[in-house]
């Protein structure tokens, strides 16, 4: 039977849950070799699996840099490679779209898992004339997010994965402020009432331009950038102006309108 091997590097967020899954499969009687779990880092275990002629396919979730290395390592054995790399996904809200619904969905998805999702809709593109309305809706919704211990009932957002990542997110928020983006809510530091832990304030920037660092780099935290546009062509140009391309979102007044715009976005 074809087997599946999962490789975890030491710094992975959820190695324990993967180990529990392996134990469940073992206890359930899954035949040996169908599922394997290997702890190790990319340069050793990852490189060996990517280049080994006995491995038929490699699926990887992680950085663009590592994805390129895997593709190169796999080329000599012509194995299948499936890559889910970084994202700076655009979320285009078209003229005439139901604003409360569209912005609400964008905020909920963006803040899910403290923004630590490859496909997070981290660039919200909105008609310039409706920018103030979008800011007000977004700020109100972000203010309703309860940040704290995820084990406590009512908590809507927990911490980010590590101290190193917390510092990275804080640095990018500071960078957004320094580069002139307008801070609508949130900012640097921990949320009020949380003196310790790797918690990040739900943060929204507006009047962001696509050349700013926060619009170019994947923050991987609860930080939303709102970018105004003047017409659909400009919205599509901004959406496609990214080194990434994992996913994209479109909200329109009709399904046909949204699909028409969506077909012009380079994503997926």
Residues taking part in catalysis: 84, 118
How far is Cα 142 from Cα 201, in angstroms, rounded to an integer?
9
How far is Cα 93 from Cα 106, in angstroms, rounded to an integer?
10
Task: Give me Rg for the CA atoms of the chain.
Answer: 21
Beta bridge partners of 81: 58
Strands (E) located in the chain: 4-8, 35-39, 57-61, 80-84, 90-93, 123-127, 182-185, 203-206, 223-229, 249-251
How far is Cα 131 from Cα 145, in angstroms, rounded to an integer?
22
Task: Report DSSP state, residue 31.
Answer: P
Helix/strand/coil percent split, the chain, to 5: 40, 20, 45
């Amino acid at each position: 039977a074809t087997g599946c091997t999962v490789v975890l590097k030491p710094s992975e967020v959820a190695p324990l849950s993967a180990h529990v899954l392996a134990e469940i499969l073992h206890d359930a009687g899954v035949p040996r070799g169908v599922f394997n779990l290997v702890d190790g880092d990319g340069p050793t275990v990852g490189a060996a699996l990517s280049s080994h002629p006995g491995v038929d396919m490699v699926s990887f979730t992680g950085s663009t840099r590592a994805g390129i290395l895997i593709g190169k390592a796999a080329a000599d054995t012509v194995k299948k490679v499936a890559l889910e790399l970084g994202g700076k996904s655009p979320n285009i809200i078209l003229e005439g779209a139901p604003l409360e619904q569209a912005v609400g969905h964008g905020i909920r998805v963006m803040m899910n898992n403290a923004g630590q999702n490859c496909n997070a809709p981290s660039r919200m593109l909105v008609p310039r004339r409706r920018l103030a309305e979008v800011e007000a809706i977004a700020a109100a919704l972000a203010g309703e997010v309860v940040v704290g211990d995820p084990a406590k009932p009512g908590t809507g957002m927990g911490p980010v994965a590590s101290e190193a990542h917390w510092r990275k997110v804080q640095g990018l928020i500071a960078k957004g402020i320094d580069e002139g983006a307008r801070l609508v809510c949130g900012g640097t530091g921990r949320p009020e009432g949380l003196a310790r832990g790797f918690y990040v304030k739900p943060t929204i920037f507006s009047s962001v331009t696509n050349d700013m660092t926060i619009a170019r780099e994947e923050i991987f935290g609860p930080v939303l950038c709102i970018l105004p546009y003047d017409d659909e062509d400009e919205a599509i140009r901004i959406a496609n102006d990214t080194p990434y391309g994992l996913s994209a979102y479109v909200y329109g007044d009709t399904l046909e309108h949204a699909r028409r715009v969506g077909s012009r976005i380079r994503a997926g």
